[in-house]
Each structure stands twice: as structure tokens, then as C-alpha cells.
Structure 1
């Protein structure tokens, strides 16, 4: 529960605290753009990433509501949904699984758990600098888009979002061996 709370505190409450801090100034100026960095995994959550995917889905929902609420004040809200992006997230997540010996029910899934943490850091992952440059270019447009998905796995997870649940479940069982 502590880890779950920490993920939500960072990904949802942290974003909301920042939004609350900047909204008054944006309202005074009658302009601004809020950029929330969600995740493509929020569209089709897979195994071993429940807390992370749930927190990003909450941020997507918050962004959708704020986009509608703040438009009349001249404030844009953009949701960025990156796919696999090269960062230190993978190594940070992998260290959490070093305690797997305490998870007797999950021991047989250790390889799949570790693979989940490495999948977004693989050779096809998007360099963070590339993602940042693309987001900045969009934000600086006169009318920034409300949604921007980019990077490794963004196409497949978008397709899985629109797929029947039985197919999504089959896909994850096949790919993630769970």
C-alpha cells in the first residue's frame, strides 16, 4: 500500500498540486497550456503495472475534465501519452523486484515481472530528448492538440484499447506469460 500511495502521490496528486499553483496566473492572463504526462499504458493496462497504469489513467481522466473546465478561461490542457521512453525508470523499477523472494505466490512469475520493467527500456524505446522536443513543438503551436501519443508500443496499446477484453487478455497472457 505504501508503494501504491507513492505512485499516486507522484503521478496524480503531484500533478494536481502543480496545476493548482499555476491556474490562478493562467486565469489572470487568460491563456496558458497545462501539459500532463500520462502513459499509453493507461489505455490497455497489462500485468505487473496496475498501480502505475491506474495512476496514469486517473491523470488522463483529470486532464479530460480540466480541458473542458478551463477552455473558457483560455487555458489549454494537453495529455501526453508516451510509449516506451528511455529513462532511469526501468532500473528503478527493477530494484523493487529484488525483494521477489518474499513474494511466494509471484515467484514463478519473476522472469515476467523483471521483463516488464525492462520492456520500455529496450533498443526500440524512444529517447526522452526526442519525446521532449516533439512535445515542446506541439505546446508552442497556437492550438496545441488535446492528446499526443508517441513512442514505442503506442500503436499496439492503442489497438488493444479498442480490442475486446478477451483478445487483450489473450495477448497479455501470450506476451507476458502470466
Structure 2
């Protein structure tokens, strides 16, 4: 890409990197790291004609989400977390529920955006992307309230 002075790198992060909630710490942290890498690469590679786009999907129906739900079947072995089973299941189910974006719809949106003459540096799309984007800018007590009271976590 550098030799051609042209190219695009697309990193798929997550909207949870902006407003991480309970029961997804490692996932949210890994996506936040990917967002930071994308921000850095975008600046470093711009002078070579390479665009970097970070995609932050909201709730998207996927095999990852489905396999996440299956892990709770072994929760009887989780001495300290058993009391949170309902909340943990709800967290997983909400991202895979009826309002979740289909993977095909997300892919179509990403491809259309990335192929534009001037692709966006950041693309948030799908279920919960608007509310979690707003929570990113809100004071922490607002975010905590949202997860504790609204999401019952």
C-alpha cells in the first residue's frame, strides 16, 4: 500500500469500547485497544495515501454472540458469579435480540462507507450505537446510572 500510495485499512472494533458496561470487560478493553491503534495508524499512514477506518458496530447478530450465551450453561461452577447469572445472560441476549443488526446489513453499510472517495475515519452503526456514543460523552455517573437502572446490571 505504501508503494502504491493508496489503500485502506478497516479495523472492526465495537461500540462497547466507547461506553463499556458490566460483563464485557475483556471484550470492551480489546476493542478499545483496537480503536486506539486505528487512531494512531490513521495519523501515521495518512501521508502515504492510506486511509484507516475504525468500525464500531452496535448489537449485531453473530456466531460470537450465540457462543457467548452458551457459556452461561456452565455457570453453576462459578461460585462468585452465580448470583449475577440473570444479568449476565441479559447482557448477552440484548446484543443478539430482535433489534440486533444483521451481519449482512452491517457488512453492506461498511462496504458502502469504506468505498467512498473520502471514507469516514470512524463508523458507528447498528443497535445501541447512538445511545452508547452519547454515553461516551456523558459523565461517568450518568453511564453508571444507565447500566445500573436502565439495563438492570
**2:84 is equivalent to residue 114 of structure 1:** no
Correspondences of 1:1-178 after superposition (within 5 Å): 26-178=1-153
C-alpha deviation, 1:177, in angstroms? 2.8
Q: Greater relative contact order (Cα 8 A, min sep 6): structure 1 or 2? A: 2
Where has structure 1 moved over 3 Å in runs of 4 or more? none
Q: Return the TM-score normalized by structure 1.
A: 0.83
- Which of the pair is proportionally richer in helix? 1
How many positions carry a matched residue from both structures?
Answer: 153
Q: Distance in 2 between matches of 1:116 and 1:173?
A: 12
2:21 counterpart SS class: coil
Aligned-CA RMSD value? 1.0
Give distance in 1, aligned partners of 2:40 and 2:65: 30
Greater mean alpha carbon deviation, residues 101-110 or residues 148-157: 101-110
Query: Shift of the alpha carbon at 1:175?
Result: 3.1
Q: How big is each residue's C-alpha offset from its partner over 1:46-88, in whole Å with a ceiling of 9 and x where there is no partner? A: 0000000000000000000000000011100000001011112
User: What's the TM-score once normalised by structure 2's chain length?
Assistant: 0.96
Shift of 1:37: 0.4
Contact 1:47-1:176 at 8 Å conserved across structures = no
